[in-house]
């Protein structure tokens, strides 16, 4: 195992289990997952519907408690943190991109993008300046004062990406970012996310079952029935660094 050629770990997941419900109705969604994500890479979690991808993403992001195992994200041990500290952790370190964009319809794009900064305590003026700059960067100059509903799906997802990046989090979490978009728009969004991942101090994790976008991944983690089956790169080479 050579660690010199491989980028440092961003996310480190060991033997994580999660069961929904109790007794007869219990659904084991994660059955001991081992999984790593590196800094500066775009990692995809793929697999059939219901295999536990979203659940895994949720526990990594700190939005869902897990039953057993250990998760470290950029040096923070989620399994050892109090809920309050997990909220703090998300606030600073995690950017979210959702399948349905989840932009607030009554707010302008600038206001939507400014939210993570405001939650982090920035002033309104600073937050809106940064939000506007980020929208420019995402290829949406001049649309800052529009409501999300006046934008196309792809543009809305760009706004969502701007919102996920504006507070410079180290971990970007995307759940099915392209499934509400057509093929070309989806490709553009993936190009964008790939560029986002090209940052040494950052890691992008994308959950998807859309095989048309697999090619954008640096590495693919295949899941099945609550377990990781295989980790490989684009050439199909297994990843021995795990």
Partner 1 sequence: MYHLALKMLLGDRAKYLMLVGGLTFATMLMTQQCGVFFGLLKWTTSHLSNMRAKLWVVDRKVEQANELKALRDTDVNRVRSVAGVAWAVPVYVGVQSAKLADGNFKPVMLVGLDNATLIGQPPLLLRGRLEAIRLPNSVIVDELAVRRLSAGRAKPLDLGDTFELNDREARIVGICRADKHFFGYPYVYSTYTQAVQFAPRQRKMLSLILAEPAPGYSLASAAAAIEAGTGMKAYAEEELFWSTIWWYFRNTGIPVAFISTILLGFIVGMVISGQTFYAFVHENLRHLGALKAMGASNGLLTCMLLVQAFTVGFIGYGMGALLVVGFGRTAVTRGEPPFMFPWQLPAATFALVMSICMLSALMGIRKVWKIEPAIVFRG
Ligand X SMILES: Nc1ncnc2c1ncn2[C@@H]1O[C@H](COP(=O)(O)OP(=O)(O)O)[C@@H](O)[C@H]1O
**All residues at 6 or more sequence positions from 105 whose CB lies less than 8 Å from its CB, including other chains:** 147, 148, 149
Q: What are phi and psi of 166, to 5 degrees?
A: -60, -30
Residue 128, H or E segment: helix 124-137
How far, in Å, CA of 143 to CA of 95, rounded?
21
Identified binder of ligand X from the candidate list 3, 5, 49, 211, rule CB under 6 A: 49
Identified binder of ligand X from the candidate list 10, 13, 29, 61, rule CB under 6 A: 29
Binding residues vs partner 1 (CB under 8 A) = 54, 57-58, 61, 63-64, 84, 87-88, 90-92, 94, 96, 98-100, 102, 104-107, 111, 114-116, 118-120, 124, 175
Q: Does 54 bind Mg ion (CB under 5 A)?
A: yes
Using the structure block, give the residue that is written with the tokens 């370190």.
93
Q: Which is nearer to partner 1, 8 or 27 (CB)?
A: 27
Minimum CB distance to partner 1, residue 193 (Å): 17
Minimum CB distance to partner 1, residue 140 (Å): 19
Q: Which is nearer to Mg ion, 144 or 186 (CB)?
A: 186
The partner residues of 28 in beta bridges, in order of sequence, read 19
How far, in Å, CA of 10 to CA of 37, rounded?
5
**Interface residue list for ligand X (CB under 6 A):** 20-21, 27, 29, 49-55
């Amino acid at each position: 195992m050579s660690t010199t050629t491989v980028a440092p770990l961003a996310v480190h997941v060991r033997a994580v289990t999660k069961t929904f419900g109790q007794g007869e109705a219990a659904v084991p969604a994660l059955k001991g997952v081992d999984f790593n994500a590196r800094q500066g890479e775009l990692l995809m979690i793929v697999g059939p519907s219901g295999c536990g991808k979203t659940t895994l993403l949720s526990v990594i992001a700190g939005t869902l408690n897990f039953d057993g195992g250990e998760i470290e994200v950029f040096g923070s041990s989620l399994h050892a943190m109090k809920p309050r500290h997990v909220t703090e952790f998300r606030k600073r370190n995690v950017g979210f991109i959702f399948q349905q964009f989840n932009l607030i319809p009554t707010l302008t794009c600038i206001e939507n993008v400014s939210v993570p900064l405001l939650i982090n305590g920035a002033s309104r003026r600073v937050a809106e300046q940064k939000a506007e700059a980020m929208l420019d960067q995402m290829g949406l100059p001049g649309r800052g004062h529009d409501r999300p509903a006046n934008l196309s799906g792809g543009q809305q997802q760009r706004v969502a990406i701007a919102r996920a990046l504006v507070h410079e989090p180290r971990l970007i979490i995307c759940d099915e970012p392209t499934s509400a978009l057509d093929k070309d728009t989806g490709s553009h969004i993936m190009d964008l996310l790939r560029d986002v991942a090209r940052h040494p101090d950052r890691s992008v994790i994308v959950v998807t079952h859309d095989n048309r976008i697999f090619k954008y991944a640096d590495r693919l983690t295949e899941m099945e029935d609550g377990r990781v089956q295989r980790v490989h790169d684009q050439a199909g080479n297994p990843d021995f660094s795990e």
